[in-house]
């Protein structure tokens, strides 16, 4: 029996171990924020944003950002129907209304024409989620946002290392969010980051992130608004500092894996992998294969074949509108259709050639049979 091939796993070296150990030994009392501040500064500088706030998760960072924009009951937030629940849950928790639009065939990201058509006087934000490393069309979204006076925000959890015309994913909107969950390109176990270059928004979010305590408030333990507690711990931040020193290597590893899949599957008619159109870079967080309808290859067949081969593949995100807590959106035909004939392929950083060949062989086998 050959070893089971994992879907993702982090790349942890002696550097992460050394920083985490150092934080566990010394990062207390007066030094309990050292690695957190260092991680925030290093991340902002890497991305080219003015500010960054480390959080306990990307979901928490999104919640803070939406709250910082004042989004609440009666407001609408437009996002793609194809998304993980984490992007939309904070919208719901804040009492706002998600408006789910269809995706584009190639990038699997929200369709700008449908975004524009969905704008109403209640629209407060367009939530651009760069799916599986693919970039949303930021030129068109930023233009729509500017013309309608609506904030464009970026969930870049899957797009560390992705770029749009030389600008990093997460750095272009009113704010951006990132995840350092164990499956992501850079990990702290659990963790996230809020980034922005808008000073006023940064100050509002800083207060919200610190239980509503305003640094200008002279009284101790005197919150001036009801805030949140979504903070990252110092030991996690120490691991993040080490990962960030290795970010070029980590992203390059992911890109090498995606490129290798492109090679291995290039002879097959009707397989499309993650898009990387001219003027963009795909950080290649999650190699994903979509099969043309003519191939007859479905999610169900893929899951059975990978399971039998001892390979941990995952399904493409279900349309949110197919989940029980949302209203059905049968008009979002691409979101529904693509999910039924696609699969996420394993892509842990140190995946070797032989493992990728085994994955490709499963796909090739489906074409024969
Ligand atoms: C992973 C992910 C999240 C959630 O990140 P957490 O850190 O687990 O909250 C949010 N959005 C997208 C697009 C993700 O891929």
Name the residue ranges covered by the structural domains of the chain.
Answer: 14-245, 248-368
- 11-20 pLDDT, tens digit per residue, is 999 999 999 9
Count the alpha carbons within 13 Å of 38 in the hemisphere toward its beta carbon.
21
Average pLDDT of the chain?
Answer: 97
* Environment class of 223 (CB within 10 Å of its CB; exposed 0-12, middle 13-18, buried 19+): middle
* Neighbouring residues of 250: CB distance < 8 A, sequence distance ≥ 6: 11, 161, 185, 186, 243, 349
Whether 14-245 shares its CATH topology with 248-368 is answered no
Residues 69/77, Cβ–Cβ less than 8 Å: no
- 299-318 pLDDT, tens digit per residue, is 999 999 999 999 999 999 99
Q: Is the dihedral of CA 349, 355, 360, 362 positive or negative?
A: negative
pTM (global) more than 0.95: yes
Phi, psi of 41 (to 5 degrees): -65, -45
The residue nearest atom 14 of ligand 1, judged by CA position, is 157
Which of the following is catalytic: 184, 231, 254, 368?
184
Helix, strand, coil % (nearest 5) of the chain? 40, 15, 40
- 144-191 pLDDT, tens digit per residue, is 999 999 999 999 999 999 999 999 999 999 999 999 999 999 999 999
Any residues with Cβ below 6 Å from ligand 1, and which?
A: 57-59, 84, 86-87, 129, 155, 157-158, 179, 181, 192
Which CATH number is associated with domain 248-368?
3.90.1150.10
- Please list the residues that pair with 82 across neighbouring strands: 319
The mean per-residue pLDDT over the stretch 200-207 comes to: 98
Residue the block writes with tokens 């990201």: 109
Q: Residue 93 carries which DSSP code?
A: H
Residues 318/11, Cβ–Cβ less than 8 Å: no
Q: Does domain 14-245 sit in CATH 3.40.50.12160?
A: no
**Is 368 in the active site?**
no
């Amino acid at each position: 029996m050959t070893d089971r091939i994992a879907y993702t796993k982090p790349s942890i070296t002696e550097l992460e171990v050394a920083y985490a150990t150092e934080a566990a030994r010394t990062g207390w009392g007066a030094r309990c924020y050292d690695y957190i501040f260092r991680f925030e500064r290093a991340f902002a500088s890497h991305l080219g944003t003015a500010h960054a706030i480390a959080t306990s998760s990307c979901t928490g960072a999104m919640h803070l950002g939406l709250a910082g924009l004042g989004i609440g009951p009666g407001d609408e937030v437009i996002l793609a129907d194809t998304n993980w629940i984490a992007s939309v849950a904070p919208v719901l928790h804040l009492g706002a209304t998600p408006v789910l639009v269809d995706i584009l065939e190639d990038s699997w990201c929200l369709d700008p024409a449908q975004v524009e058509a969905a704008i109403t006087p209640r629209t407060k934000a367009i939530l651009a989620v760069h799916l599986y490393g693919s970039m949303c069309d930021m030129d068109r979204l930023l233009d729509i946002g500017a013309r309608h006076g609506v904030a464009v925000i970026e969930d870049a959890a899957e797009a560390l290392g992705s770029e749009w015309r030389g600008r990093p994913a997460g750095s272009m909107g009113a704010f951006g969010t990132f995840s350092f969950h164990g499956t992501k390109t850079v990990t702290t176990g659990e963790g996230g980051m809020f980034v922005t270059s808008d000073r006023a928004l940064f100050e509002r979010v800083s207060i919200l992130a610190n239980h509503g305590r305003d640094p200008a408030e002279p009284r101790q333990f005197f919150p001036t608004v009801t805030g949140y507690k979504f903070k990252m711990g110092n030991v996690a931040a120490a691991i993040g500092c080490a990962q960030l020193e290795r970010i070029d290597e980590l992203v390059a590893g992911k890109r090498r894996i995606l490129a290798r899949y492109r090679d291995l599957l290039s002879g097959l008619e009707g397989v499309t992998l993650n898009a990387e159109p001219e003027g963009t870079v795909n950080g290649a967080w999650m190699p994903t294969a979509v099969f043309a309808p003519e191939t007859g290859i479905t999610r169900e067949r893929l899951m059975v074949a990978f399971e039998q081969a001892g390979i941990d593949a995952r399904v493409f995100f279900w349309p949110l509108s197919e989940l029980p807590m949302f209203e059905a959106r049968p008009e979002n035909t691409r979101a529904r259709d693509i999910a039924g004939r696609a699969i996420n392929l394993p892509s842990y950083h140190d995946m070797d050639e032989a493992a990728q060949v085994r994955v490709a062989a499963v796909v090739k086998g489906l074409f024969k049979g």
